[in-house]
Amino acid sequence: MKKIVIFASGSGTNAENIIKYFAATKIGSVEAVFTNNPNAKVIERAKKYEIPTEVFSKTELFESKILQKINTIQPDLIVLAGFLLKFPENIIEAYPNKIINIHPALLPKYGGKGMYGMHIHRAIVGNKERETGITIHFVNENYDEGNILFQKNVVLSGDETPEEVAEKIHELEQKYFPEVIEKLLEN
């Protein structure tokens, strides 16, 4: 059974979806959820499934404490599911090609520092884009620049609100993120 660790900063809908997906498979399981936000709803979601959670500060993330905790689990894959901090190089170096992120746009467009969540959806609507989508990519030392593993687009009519774009993206994330994780764990 492969081990998955999830990092999340917010509501945790993608984290919960991944937890549920892998609870029903024999290929992997979510061993822990790490968050930098003591008020994140992802904590409640993880506890509902009896998944251990670790709340940490930004300082702790960039020191060796979090890497040590990850090392005790020895995950096969680290999944960033709505994690908003830049991921530290010491963890990236310790787990090369074993850390993935989901981004709510078709990279390289709408990537980089400050481009997350509704900021992206507002920019897409404001620029009258005719399509958007999701990108799942490996994590490297730069925001949203790791090798792309998967992209899925959705066509926009041009009449959508940022909230409607967010809903279309959420549907793609829920469908494809666990499937891509499963394929990675199988290889």
Alpha-carbon gap, residue 45 to 6, rounded angstroms: 12
Alpha-carbon gap, residue 129 to 138, rounded angstroms: 25
Active site residues: 103
User: What does the block give as tokens for 71?
Assistant: 């090392």
Torsion sign over Cα 101, 103, 106, 111: negative
Provide φ and ψ at 3, rounded to 5°.
Answer: -105, 135
